[in-house]
Homo-oligomer: A and B are copies of this chain.
Amino acid sequence: MSSPLQTLKGFRDFLPQEKRERDFVIARLKTIFARFGFEPLETPTLEYASVLLGKYGQEADKLVYTFTDRGERQIGLRYDQTVPTARVLAQYQHQLPGHFRRYQIQNVFRADKPQKGRWREFTQCDIDIFGSTSPVADAEVLSCVYQAYSGLGLTDLRLEINHRATLIETLSPFATEAVNVMSLIQSVDKLDKLTETQVVEELVAKGLEAAPARSALAAIQAAPLSSALAEIFSHAISLGVPESALVYSPTIARGLDYYTGMIFEIKTPTYPAGSLGAGGRYDNLIQDLGGPSIPAVGMAFGFDRTVEALRELGLLPATQAAAQVLVTYFDDTTLRTSLEATQALRAAGITVTVYPQADKLPKQLKYAEASHIPWVVMIGSDEQAAGKIMLKNLATRSQESLPLAEAITRVSAGN
């Protein structure tokens, strides 16, 4: 059934090209996170199962990988980054600053049914500000998200933003014993995928009459921007988010019932496949998860989807080359000069791979091409005698004998 030389279903290898793309995105995100004062945090892959279970309900618990170790401890694999962070906030309360901004980029594990775009191990990327209920903290998150994505080259970014209080205040008058306000919110949240008629049908199926169901939808669609949200918008604009990117969306609800204030998703029409990330304020969750009583606002980047969007939009650098230069192994009489040239190129910051044995030259060139290496340095006895090197540009097939220093200049400029 299971071939021994395969990855498990739902798990992935990242070969060099894809790994470089992912590392590029992570490096860019980290630079922006640092610019906003977010600090890095790492927690272990394994935790006591009791830390992880019972936090997000029975359905989530079923997706936590758990096992018993040789010491009879119940162990769980990291399921998200918020629960371990709640543990960290409790465990190191007195070491951490009162206002703590942290980012965390680690893999999480879900024993979920694998399907397109859904993996059992995947990278989560979270930023959160702990310890403040201020709308400035909300605006900082929005500004960081906007700048992170626009820094990656994404355009037409839209932060679709709502406030949980607007939903509750607007929809509460329509709640009944059969359909409470959370149930109403969950149906409203589907308005981006279903038609109004379908949502009304769902509410009727839940036990609401059709007329109040329609009125509820009309009411939420017409709900005005609250002063709380207006203040967050104003701060976000001061922090550099263009006004046009802040889209008040009264029907955005985010199914998760732990949000207590602002909620948002980030989208772009240039990649309509779905939201690239989402977040909001969750002032009670850290305590509910076993941490201290500490307000929080933050968001999760959809890392896989973001990488996919950047790839589709051509926004990832062409980094498929294993190196900028291949130094060939011409023959043993010129090997030493070739290796010294290698070292000189590297000392100039150029990435170089050395062909390790004296294979025929066409084979060495073929290797360079297959590895997308743009430049080849060859040193035969003529070049060695003349104190030069032969520099070949594989794209143009042109080659020229020139001093090493000049080759360094040319390769550095060509990249």
- The residues of A with any CB-CB pair to B shorter than 8 Å are 2, 4-8, 11-16, 19-20, 22-23, 30, 34-37, 39-48, 50-51, 65, 67-70, 73, 75, 77, 87-88, 90-92, 95-99, 101-102, 107, 109, 111, 120-121, 129, 132-134, 136-137, 139-140, 143, 147, 234-235, 238-240, 290, 322-323, 329, 335-336, 339-340, 342-343, 346-347, 349-357, 367, 370-371
The answer to whether residues A44 and B12 also contact, given A5-B290, A69-B111, A356-B134 and a CB cut-off of 8 A, is yes
Residues of B within 8 A of A140 (CB): 354, 356
Residues of B within 8 A of A7 (CB): 43-44, 47, 87, 91
A91 to B36, CA, bound (A): 42
Residues of B within 8 A of A37 (CB): 322-323, 351-354
The answer to whether residues A50 and B13 also contact, given A65-B69, A339-B239, A356-B136 and a CB cut-off of 8 A, is no
The answer to whether residues A34 and B351 also contact, given A11-B46, A48-B6 and a CB cut-off of 8 A, is yes
Residues of B within 8 A of A46 (CB): 8, 11, 65, 109, 120-121
A318 to B355, CA, bound (A): 40
The answer to whether residues A40 and B19 also contact, given A45-B45, A235-B339, A322-B101 and a CB cut-off of 8 A, is yes
The answer to whether residues A11 and B44 also contact, given A339-B235, A370-B97 and a CB cut-off of 8 A, is yes
For the complex formed by this chain, how many copies does it contain in all?
2
Determine whether the beta carbon of A97 is less than 8 Å from that of B371: yes
A238 to B336, CA, bound (A): 6
A95 to B121, CA, bound (A): 23
Q: Which of B98, B109, B143, B339 contacts A343 (CB 8 A)?
A: B143
Q: List 17 A-B contacts (CB under 8 A).
A: A7-B47, A11-B44, A13-B41, A19-B40, A20-B40, A23-B40, A34-B323, A35-B351, A37-B354, A46-B65, A97-B371, A132-B357, A134-B356, A136-B329, A147-B346, A238-B335, A240-B346
Minimum CB distance partner of A51 in chain B: B4
Minimum CB distance partner of A48 in chain B: B2
Residues of B within 8 A of A143 (CB): 343
Apart from the given pairs A13-B44, A239-B340, 5 other A-B contacts in the complex at a CB distance below 8 Å: A8-B47, A15-B92, A36-B352, A98-B367, A238-B340
The answer to whether residues A8 and B357 also contact, given A13-B91, A15-B92, A97-B367 and a CB cut-off of 8 A, is no
Q: Which of B2, B99, B107, B353 contacts A367 (CB 8 A)?
A: B99
Nearest-neighbour CB distance to chain B for A87, whole angstroms, equals 5
Determine whether the beta carbon of A40 is less than 8 Å from that of B13: no
The answer to whether residues A36 and B353 also contact, given A48-B4, A70-B111 and a CB cut-off of 8 A, is yes
Residues of B within 8 A of A102 (CB): 16
Residues of B within 8 A of A109 (CB): 45-46
Determine whether the beta carbon of A73 is less than 8 Å from that of B8: yes
Nearest-neighbour CB distance to chain B for A299, whole angstroms, equals 16
List 9 tightest A-B contacts by C-beta distance, closest first.
A37-B353, A67-B67, A238-B339, A16-B39, A11-B44, A134-B356, A240-B343, A14-B42, A37-B323
Q: Which of B41, B101, B343 contacts A353 (CB 8 A)?
A: B101
Determine whether the beta carbon of B6 is less than 8 Å from that of A91: yes
Residues of B within 8 A of A349 (CB): 35
A30 to B2, CA, bound (A): 35
Residues of B within 8 A of A4 (CB): 48, 50-51, 290
A172 to B320, CA, bound (A): 48
Nearest-neighbour CB distance to chain B for A187, whole angstroms, equals 31
